[in-house]
Amino acid sequence: MKRKRPYGQKMRDFNTEWDKSNKQGKIELCKRYNINYIGGKQWRCLPVDEEPAEIKSQEIEVKVITPEILQYKPPARGKGDPETQVIVIGDDHAGEITPTFNVEVYKKRFKQLFQTALAITNLHRNMYSLNDLVILDVGDNVHGENPYQGSTVETVACGAVNQIYDIALPTIIELLVSFRQEFKTVKFYGVRGNHGRYSRLAPRTSNWDMALYQSLKRANLPSGIEVNYSEDFKAMVDIEGFDFFVFHGDQVRASMGVPYFALTRKVQTWCSTFNNFPYAVLGHFHKEDFLRISPTTKALINGPMVTDDPYALEIMGVSSIPCHWTFGCHKNRGLTWLYSLILDRAFLPKKRMGKKKC
């Protein structure tokens, strides 16, 4: 029978007697503990430990987590802070002819812009007031007649003057007057684009976009509609106390798609020059996008109205989708919601046909 070695004080007594005894005494000591002499020597070398507590079967405690259910307290219907709705237009290229775009399509898509923008308006008015509308026009309202920009005889419906006064001007006036029925104020801000430039040697202000804006400003518009335009390449627009840096975008050269790196660098430079504006709005690239330029600055690239434009196909490498942005601006939070408005139902996403439901 194997003897269980002692612990604590009993082990100390064993060690004391072992140290005082000769070999014969040690053998007698081992016999009392039912071990042999070799076992006694091994015990003497072991540390004096306290007797271990009796090991009991462990009970696993299962902690039941009872989450606290958070309660959302929505404001009363329509009682949230009022916001300003913003619509971005531009790159509409009135007068251009492509396989999917002409004068009639241009007018039809502007009517669709009005309907889809107001659908978003009425949706958000269930939560808060939207009394004021700001329209940011990033230029290239007409296609122009510069052959170096693709305005050849077979690609335009008429000359630049008719593009302005027969197509773009009455269409935009109709849009502003229609929106005025739905908003207390409508403020329009325009900047010039590159298609309005009819000659490289002409002054920068000799631009078809500028002619359109001046005509729009001189038009007999209802009260509550305000027309503004910049003779500089950019406009700094104050919306709910936030600066929006509006420019066309041709200031950033492109040859292989949207030059995201060059655009980021240029906007960062302008931001440090023009009082660290939080938002930049542009067009030109015929492709909508929303970029984080820096921790404090975002850039909104507006889509075009024209489709199958040779510039987009040859330089950008994509066929344009007719879309414009609309978003809300809050007095404390700045840009809140954002929607890309598809201006032609033919360009809505298509569902895969014949796929079985899981």
Q: What are the tens digits of pLDDT across the range 138-163?
A: 999 998 776 556 666 667 889 889 99
Are 206 and 277 in a shared domain? Answer: yes
Q: How far is CA 228 from the centre of its chain?
A: 28
Are 254 and 116 in a shared domain? Answer: yes
177, amino acid identity: V
Are 211 and 301 in a shared domain? Answer: yes
- pLDDT at position 263 is 94
Mean pLDDT for 173-198 is 92
Q: How far is CA 150 from the centre of its chain?
A: 33
Are 306 and 192 in a shared domain? Answer: yes
Are 167 and 261 in a shared domain? Answer: yes
- Residue 65, pLDDT above cutoff 50: yes
pLDDT band, very low/low/confident/very high, at 197 (cuts 50, 70, 90): confident
Are 121 and 198 in a shared domain? Answer: yes
- Nearest of 3, 1, 18, 5 to residue 51 by alpha carbon: 5
State how far the Cα of 203 lies from the Cα of 196, in Å rounded to an integer: 11
Are 338 and 289 in a shared domain? Answer: yes
The answer to whether residue 190 is domain-embedded is yes
Strand, helix or coil for residue 194:
coil
The set of residues, in sequence order, having a beta carbon less than 8 Å from that of 271 and lying 6+ positions away, is 245, 277, 280, 293, 294, 297
- Nearest of 195, 169, 315, 305 to residue 254 by alpha carbon: 315
Within 154-274, strands assigned E span 185-190, 225-229, 234-239, 242-247
The answer to whether residue 113 is domain-embedded is yes
The answer to whether residue 70 is domain-embedded is no
Q: pTM higher than 0.85 for the full model?
A: no
Are 276 and 142 in a shared domain? Answer: yes
Residue that has been written with the tokens 């029978």 in this structure: 1
- pLDDT at position 355 is 60
Number of domains in the chain: 2
For the beta carbon of residue 239, count every other beta carbon within 10 angstroms: 22
- Nearest of 170, 86, 149, 148 to residue 306 by alpha carbon: 149
**pLDDT per residue as tens digits for the range 16-26:** 888 888 888 88
Domain span holding position 321: 80-345
Bridge pairing between strands 242-247 and 185-190: unpaired
Q: Please, what is the end-to-end C-alpha distance for the chain in angstroms? A: 70
State how far the Cα of 226 lies from the Cα of 86, in Å rounded to an integer: 14
Are 116 and 237 in a shared domain? Answer: yes
Are 223 and 298 in a shared domain? Answer: yes
**pLDDT per residue as tens digits for the range 244-278:** 999 999 999 877 778 899 999 999 999 999 999 99
Q: What is the CATH number of the domain that holds 168?
A: 3.60.21.10
- pLDDT at position 313 is 79
- Nearest of 139, 153, 143, 134 to residue 106 by alpha carbon: 143
The set of residues, in sequence order, having a beta carbon less than 8 Å from that of 146 and lying 6+ positions away, is 195, 197, 198, 199
